[in-house]
Structure 1
Amino acid sequence: MNRFAIFVLALLLPVSAFAQSAAADARKPPGAAVASAHSLATEAGIQTLKQGGNAFDAAVAVSSVLSVVEPISSGLGGGGFFLLHDARTGKDVFVDARETAPAAATPDKYLDKTGGLDRDRAENGPWAAGIPGLPAALVHVAEQYGRLPLKQTLAPAIRIARDGFPVYGRFARGYAERSEVMQRYPGTREVFLRNGHAPKEGELFKQPELARTLELLAAKGFDGFYRGDTAKKLIAGVNKAGGHWTADELAGYRVKEREPLRFEYDGWDIVTAPPPSSGGIALAEMLQILEPWDLARLPQAERVHLVVEAMRRAFRDRTFYLGDPDFVKIPVKTLMDPDYAAGLRATIHPDKATPSDLLSGEPTPLEDEETTHFSIIDAEGNRAAVTQTVNLLFGSGLIPSGTGVLLNNEMDDFALKPGTPNAFGVMGYEANAPKPGKRMLSSMTPTFMSNADKVAVIGTPGGTRIITMVLLGMLGYADGLDAPQVAALKRYHHQWWPDVVDTERDALPADVVAALRAMGHVVTVPGEDNQGRRSSDAWGNMNTVLWDRRGNSLSAGSDPRNGVGKAEVLASP
C-alpha cells in the first residue's frame, strides 16, 4: 500500500468509527423508564412523559415531588446534582445545585466556649443551613432543557403538597428520631404537628405552605423563591432563629453548569460527577485500579479484597485533594490518569490487606445517608441521573414560618474545625473548609455508563457509601446484570479510615468473611460487635434504569430495601 493510500485510510478510520458511534446513538429506546424512591414521584415522571415532556421535564417533576414526599431526604431547602444527556446533540452536562455557605458562617461561629466544635449548631437550626440550590436547578433545567412550562411540571408536586400523601414507615421513624430538634422551631411545628401530634404511619400529611411556595416558583421562576415573598420569609425565619442570611445571598445564588468527568472502563464509556462531588474522581481511580483483573472469574474473597483495596486508596485521595473547584486547585488530570492508577495498583498485595495507617494521612469527611436519587431515560434517548439531599434526617429541622421549606444542614459537610470529627465521626481539612459562597464537598455520584450494546443510568443515596454502592452497581452491569438485579445487589464498603470493611446483612458468605479476616481485613457484620463498630442491616436506596440496545429493551430497578420506591417502564405507543 502506498503512502497516499495509508494517509487516506488513516483519515477514514476515525470517520468510520465516528459514523458507527453516531449510528449507535441514532437508535432510540422502545419507550421510557423512570426509577425513583417514591411511587408518587415515579408516577409524576411517567405522566409528564405521556404529556409530551422529555426526560428533563420528567426530572423536574420527579425532583419536585420527592421534595414534597421525602422531606426526610431532600427538598426545596436543599440541593443536588443533575447529570443530563441530550440525545439529539450528544451533549452531557452536569448541573451543580449544591448549597453554598452564607458569608456569616465562618468557622469561629461553630466553636463552643472551650474552642471545641459545637455539634448542635453544626447540625441543627439556622447555622447548619447553607443557601438552597434545588429550586434554582428546577428552574434552570426546565428553561434550558425541558419542553413544558414549569407550571405543568411542578403541578403534581403542588397537588400532592396541598392534598397530602400517606405517611410511610421511614418518614414516621425518622421524625421520631429527630422530634426534639423539629419541635424547637415554630414554623416546623406548624407543619409537622398540624394535627396536634407527630406524623403517624398511614395518616394523610398535608403541606399547604409548601404548596404555595411551589406555586410561586412555578409562576415566577427563580424570583419566586430567591426574591420576593418567599425570600423574605426564609430570611426572616433564619434570622429570627438566631442565624444570619441576607437578601443578596439568596438573590445571588446560581447553579453552575460543569463539564462531567469522562473515562473508560473495560469497554464502557463512563460519564460522571465532577467536583464538588468527590464521587467521579473516586470512581475513576477505583475502576482504573481494578481494570487489569478479570473480576468476574476471581474467587469472591479475592475479588472483594481487590475492590476494597481500590476503595481504600481512592478515599485516601478524596481527603486531601477534593473540595469546591472554584476555591481549591484539584489535580483532576493526575488523579484520573491510568498511570497514576497503575502506581496505586502496584501497592496492592494480592492476599494481604494494606493497613490504612501505612497510607499517610488523616481520616476523610463523610456525608450523611439521608439523600435520594432517581434515574430516567426517555423514548428519544435523553437521560437524567439526579441525586438530591438535605443532609441529615429532616436536614436542620428548621422550617421558616409560612414557607413549608425544610432547610438543609449541609454546613456540617464542611470541615468546620480542621481535624475534628463531624456528625459521623470523621474529619476534614483546608480543601473543604467553609468560605462565603463556597460549596461543601459531596459524595453524590449520578453516573451514565454505555457501550455498544447498553446504556445505564445509576445513582444512590448513602453518604460516602454512595461512591462504593455506585461502584458495585457498575461492576454488576459490567457482569451482565439488569436494572432490578443491580438495584438489589448486596453491598460492602471501605473508606480508608476507619480501617474497616462494613457489610450489609448477608452481603458476604461466612467463608468469604473469614478469608478476608485472614488477609488482615477488619470486617463488620450486622449482629456482631467488631471493635465497638456496628454495621446496619441495609444501606442506600438505589434507583437505576438500563437500555439494552442489542435487544432494544428497557429495564428499571428501584431498591427493594425501600418500601415506597417504584420503577416503571413506559412502552412507546
Structure 2
Amino acid sequence: MKAALACGLALSIVLHAPAASAKTPVATGTGGAVATISEQASQSALAILNRGGNAVDAAVAAAATLGVTDPFSCGIGGGGFMVIYLAKDKRVITIDHRETAPASFTPAAFLENGKPIDFDTAVASGAAVGVPGTVRGWHEALQRYGSMDFKQVLAPAIDVATRGYQATEIFSHLTAKNERKFQLYAPTGALYLRGGKAVQPGTLIRNPDMAKAYREIAAGGVKAFYEGPIARAIVDAVNRPPLAPGKSARAGRMTMADLANYEARIRQPLRSTYRGYEVYGMPLPSSGGATVAEALNILEGFDLRKMPRAQAEHTYLEASRLAFADRNAYLADPEYVDVPLAGILSKEYAAQRRRLIGAAAAHKVAAGDPYAFQDDQSVPLRPQSAVQRKRESAHTTHLAVSDKDGNVVSYTFTLEDWGGSGITVPGYGFILNNEMTDFDFSGPHPNVPEAGKRPRSSMAPTIVLRDGKPAFTIGSPGGSTIITTVLQTIFNHVDLGMPMDQALDAPRISERNGEATSVEPGFPGSAQARALERFGHRWEAGPEEIGAANAIVFNPDGTVTAVSEGKRHGVGTALVQRRGH
C-alpha cells in the first residue's frame, strides 16, 4: 500500500508559472453564454459551444473542468442538482444527483453513547462519504438532453488536468485554512500541500491521476465509474482511508453494491410565481427551491418598490427568517418523509406568515403550521418544532450556460465542506465528499440519516421565465446562504431594479432565523448596516465572504448577458460566443 501511495504521490508535478490573464465578470453577446468562477471552466464550456455542442454538453464540460481547478468545491467525488430549460419543448426539468447514504447507514450513524459525535471529526472521515452522484448525473444529462458524449465533453478538462492550472490567492488561502484536514491523507497532502503547508499562489498544479479518471470514464462511460476499478478504489478509500503516517480517522462502510445501485432522479421542477415571473427551482431533497419560493410568496404581498431601501431590505430579511424556520422544521428527502410541501408553497399560507413581519427584527421565530393549507389526509401528524440551526458548509460551486438555440442550464454541485472529507482517491486524483454530515446527527427530525436517503441540501439553481421565455438564471454556492444569495439577488434585480451585475456585487446579508444575521467584511458600520440596525437587526461576529454567484440575463433585444462575481472568490469569468457560431 505504501509503495502504491508513493507512486501516486510522485505523479504530482509542481512548477511556477506567470500570472493569469485578466478576468471578465460580465459579457454580452448574441450566441451562447457561460458564467463560472473559473476562467478555464468558462473557456471549456465556450469551446464546446463553438464546436456545435448545446448548453447541456457545455455545462458538463465546464463542470468537469471545475473539478480540476476547484477540486475542493466540487468534482466527481460529490453530487449536485441541475435545472435545464429545453427551448424546443418549452419546459424545465431537473436532474437530482445528490449523494445517497450507503446501505450501512442508520439514524444512529453519527451517535456515540447516544450523543452526536464531534462535527469536525465526522467531516474528515470515511464515515462522512456518501455515494457520489455526479458522474451518473452527467450521464443522464448527456444521454437525455445533450448532443455529445463523455469523450468529447471531458476532453477540455483532461487537457487542463494534464497541463496544470495556477493556484490563485483564494485557493492558497482556503487550503491554508484546511491544512489540518489535508494533512490527514497522504494523496491529498501530496497534491495540495508542500512540506505540510498550503501551496503558494502562482504554483502550477498538475493532476495526471484525475486526467486518468476522466479518460477511463470517457472510454468506458458511466459504468467505468460505478462498477469498474474506479468504484473499487472509492470503496477502498472510504473503508480504509489512505492516511498519512501517524494519522487516524474514522472509516466508513461502503460497498460496491452501493455504487452499482446508485440512481439519479429526473424530477419535475418546483414552480412558483413572483410579480409576473415564473420561478423554476430545485425540488426536494434540495430545500433551496421551496425556501426561495416561500420567501418570495411572503414578499409578494409588500409594495417593496415604494418602500425606503432600508425598510425593503428589513422586509426581505424577515421573509427569509420565516421561510428558514419552516425549512428547518419540515424539509427533507421526500422519498423518506411526508413533507407538507403544498402547504409551504401556498400563497394563502404565505399571507398568514406575512402578518408576522413587523417594524422590528424578530431575531428568532417558530416554524409555522402549513398543514392547515396542505389538504393531504396522508400526513396526520405534525413534526417536532424546528431544531437549532445546524452548521452547514459554504463550499460548493455554481455555473450557468445557455446556447444559441435558447437552452439554459443552471447547475450547482458540491463536495460539501471545503475539500469534502479530505480523502483523495489513490490513483485517481479526485476528492470524496463529506455529504453525510448534511444530515441532522440526532432526532427525531425529518433529516436524520437512513440507508439510501439523500441528505437535505440548500442548493438552489434557478431559472426564471417571463411570458414563457427565459428572463434570467441565478445560483450560488454557500451552504445555507445559497438560499439567501439567490433570494437577495432576485430581490435586488426584480424589486430594487438593479442590473444583474450590480445585484450580484451588492453586499450580501443572509438571515437564516438566527439571533444575528450573516454579513460580509466591510458591511458592519456602513450606512446600509446602520439603517438596518434601526429596525433591530444584529450582525454575526467575524464577517466572511458569502457565495460566488453566476447568472445569465436574456435581454429584450435578443442578446444575452453572462454575469459572474466582480469581486468575490477572485473574480469570475463570463464569456459569450462570437458572431458566426
Q: TM-score category by the smaller chain?
A: 0.7 to 0.9
Structure 2 matches for 1:344-493, cutoff 5 A? Answer: 344-349=353-358, 351-357=359-365, 361-418=386-443, 430-452=445-467, 455-478=471-494, 479-493=496-510
Counterpart of 1:565? 572
Is 1:551 matched with 2:560? no
Change (3 A) 1:195 1:150: farther
Q: Distance in 1 between matches of 2:139 and 2:365?
A: 46
SS of equivalent to 2:553: strand
The residue that corresponds to 2:220 in the other structure is: 220
TM-score (norm 1): 0.87
State whether residues 322 and 365 of structure 2, in contact with CA within 8 Å, keep that contact through their aligned partners in structure 1: no
Alpha-carbon distance in 1 for matches of 2:531, 2:197: 51
* Consecutive unaligned residues in structure 2, runs of 5 or more: 1-28, 242-250, 368-384
User: Cα distance, 1:191 vs. partner?
Assistant: 3.0
Partner of 1:332: 341
CA apart distance, 1:214: 0.7
Question: Aligned partners of 2:569, 2:532: CA distance in 1, in Å?
Answer: 29
Q: Measured at CA, do residues 196 and 128 of structure 1 come closer, stay the same or move farther in structure 2, by a change above 3 Å? A: closer
Cα distance, 1:487 vs structure 2: 2.2
Equivalent pair of 2:325/2:366 in contact (CA under 8 Å) = no
What is the rounded CA distance, in whole Å, between the counterparts of 2:466 and 2:84 in structure 1?
17
2:446 maps to a residue whose letter is A
| Residue number among 335, 350, 353 corresponding to 1:341 in the alignment | 350
Where relative contact order (Cα < 8 A, 6+ residues apart) is larger, the structure is 2
Contact 1:484 1:555 in 2 (8 A): no
Of residues 541, 548, 553, the one that matches 2:548 is: 541
Q: 1:162-177 counterparts in 2 under 5 A? A: 162-177=162-177
Shift of 1:194: 8.0
Residues 1:269 and 1:572: Cα distance change in structure 2 (over 3 Å):
farther
* 8 A Cα contact 2:564 2:571, kept in partner: no
Q: Judging changes above 3 Å, is the alpha-carbon distance between structure 1 residues 248 and 358 closer, same or farther for their aligned structure 2 residues?
A: closer
> How large is the RMSD of aligned CA atoms in angstroms?
2.0
Tell which deviates more after alignment, 476-485 or 308-317.
Answer: 476-485
CA distance in 2, matches of 1:458, 1:215: 31
Shift of 1:507: 4.6
**Amino acid corresponding to residue 533 of structure 2 in structure 1:** R
| Equivalent in the alignment of 2:55 | 55
**Cα distance, 1:355–1:208 mapped onto 2, change above 3 Å:** closer
Which residue identity does 1:404 align to in structure 2? G
Deviation at 1:415, TM superposition (A): 0.6
The 1:201–1:81 alpha-carbon spacing in structure 2 relative to 1, beyond 3 Å, is: same
Q: Which residue is 2:119 aligned to?
A: 119
Q: How much does 1:517 deviate? A: 3.0
Task: Give the corresponding residue for 1:270.
Answer: 279
Equivalent in the alignment of 1:3:
none
Name the residue aligned to 2:310: 301
1:495 aligns with 2:495: no
Unaligned runs of 5+ in 1: 1-28, 419-428, 525-532
| Structure 1 residue 114 displacement after superposition | 7.6
Identity %: 35
- CA shift, 1:198, in A, is 4.2
Residue 92 of structure 1: aligned partner? 92
Could you give the per-residue CA deviations for residues 330-382 of structure 1, whole angstroms, max 9, x where no partner exists?
A: 11111111001001112222x12234256564323343110100111111110
Structure 1 residues 50-74: Cα deviation after superposition (integer angstroms, max 9, x where no partner): 0000000001101100011101211
Change (3 A) 1:196 1:411: closer
CA contact (8 A) 2:332 2:456 kept: yes
Deviation at 1:488, TM superposition (A): 1.2
Judge which range, 94-103 or 505-514, deviates more. Answer: 505-514
SS at 1:445 equivalent: coil
- SS of 1:334's equivalent in the other structure is helix
Contact in 2 for aligned 1:288/1:338 (Cα 8 Å): yes
CA displacement at 1:142 relative to structure 2: 1.3
Deviations 1:235-280, CA, capped at 9 Å, x for gaps = 1122222321101001111111111011110011111111111111
Larger mean CA deviation between 391-400 and 53-62 belongs to 391-400
2:70 matched to which residue of 1? 70
Aligned positions of 1:70-219 closer than 5 A:
70-112=70-112, 115-193=115-193, 198-219=198-219
Distance apart, 1:508 and its partner CA: 7.6
Amino acid at match of 2:438: D
Instruction: Report the residue type matching 1:185 in the other structure.
Output: Y
State how far apart, in whole Å, the 2-side matches of 1:399 and 1:191 are.
9
Residue 301 of structure 1 deviates from its aligned partner by: 1.8
